[in-house]
Amino acid sequence: MAKATIRILRYNPEGDAAAPAHQDFAIDVEPTDRVLDALNHIKWYVDGTLTFRRSCAHGICGSDAMRINGVNRLACKVLMRDVGSRVTVEPLMGFRVIKDLVVDMDAFFAQYRSVLPYLINDSRPPERERLQSPEDRERFDDTTKCILCAACTTSCPSYWANEEFVGPAAIVNAHRFIFDSRDSAPGERLEILNNREGVWRCRTIFNCSEACPREIKVTKAIGEVKRAILYRQST
């Protein structure tokens, strides 16, 4: 056990303070504890009003993206030994804060829905599976890993500047279908992403790739979508 100070940006929508404020919690932690374990310890035994989303606790469900020492991470995928004895935990930037570390995700999911994130293929399916070579399957493998945690979108300066920007996560999910050999509507998605709030707001800053807890090469995927739009226009 070692002492650690967890500094958390608190906001109570029903409290007197209009603005969020930091609060420090000094607790004992194991080096192998997740930051999420530290937050749980505070919630369960110190201050039950501390509020954050969490579920699977191993980086698969995407609930607990937050800013940890200034960078977007999943609280369940960062160990205390990797962040030192003073940790600052704050909500994701760019979304309205509902309470403490909980942000409003509705706009994020609306942007996700706007890119037609589902397979479109109106041809009559064969009796068995549609065939797809391992190479064709590999083409979009990276972007199938997305867990919609919003770490990428809320690390993006272009998104902070303009929340109408569809954002990296939605583009990643469009990419997953645009490059799926079974899909017949990549053109529709490229059309959507070619508008003024689409891919061209991306300035290739790479924050998204660094933020992704699934190590998706987000900026690369966005670049591939940009090239697909240009290629389509030139042919």
Partner 1 sequence: MTHTHTYDALVIGAGGAGLMAAIYLSRNPSMKTAVISKLYPTRSHTGAAQGGIGAALGNLEEDSPEWHAFDTVKGSDYLGDQDAIDVMCNEAVDVIIELEHMGLPFSRTPDGRIAQRPFGGHSHHFGQGPVRRSCYAADRTGHMILQTLYQNCIKNDVDFFNEFQVVDMLMEDRRCCGVVAYHVDSGDLHIFRSKAVLWATGGFGRVWSITSNAVAGTGDGAAITFRRGIPLEDMEFYQFHPTGIYKLGILITEGVRGEGGVLRNDNGERFMERYAPTMKDLASRDVVSRAIYQEMIEGRGIGGRRFVYLDATHLGAEVVEKKLPDITDFCRTYLGVDPVKQPIPIQPTAHYAMGGIPTDINGQVVLDENGTLLPGCYAAGEAACVSVHGANRLGTNSLLDLVVFGKRAGLAMAEYCATADIPELPSDPTGPIAAELERLLAQTTGEPAAKIREEMQNTMMDFVGVYREQAGIQKAVDKVRELQDRYRTLVIMDKGKRFNLDLLEAWELGNLLELAEVTAVSALARTESRGAHSREDFPDRDDANWLKHTFAYRREGGRIELRYKPVTITRFQPKERVY
Segments in the chain forming alpha helices (H):
35-41, 106-114, 134-138, 157-161, 168-178, 186-193, 207-211, 218-234
Q: Which residues is 21 bridged to in the sheet?
A: 10
Contact 39, 52 (CB under 8 A): yes
Q: What single-letter amino acid sits at 39?
A: L
Which positions from 193 to 222 touch partner 1 by CB under 8 A, shown as an x/- string? Answer: ----------------------x-------
Distance CA 235, CA 44 (A): 60
* Least spacing, CB of residue 92 vs partner 1, in Å: 14
Residue with tokens 């009003």: 49
CB of 233 to partner 1, least distance (A): 27
Q: Which of 2, 26, 71, 119 binds partner 1 (CB under 8 A)?
A: 119
185 lies in the binding site for partner 1 (CB under 8 A): no
Q: Which of residues 66-85 bind partner 1 (CB under 8 A)?
A: 77, 79
By beta-carbon proximity to partner 1, the closer residue of 184 and 204 is 184
- Classify residue 24 by burial, with Cβ atoms within 10 Å: 0-12, 13-18, 19+: exposed
Shortest distance (Å) from residue 223 CB to partner 1: 21
Closer residue to partner 1, CB minimum distance, 143 or 158: 143
Distance CA(108)–CA(114), nearest Å, equals 10
- Please give the residue ranges that form the binding site for partner 1 (CB under 8 A): 12-14, 32, 34, 43-45, 47-49, 51, 53-63, 77, 79, 98-99, 102, 105, 109, 113, 117-119, 121, 125, 127-134, 136-137, 140-141, 144-145, 147-148, 176-177, 180, 182-183, 215
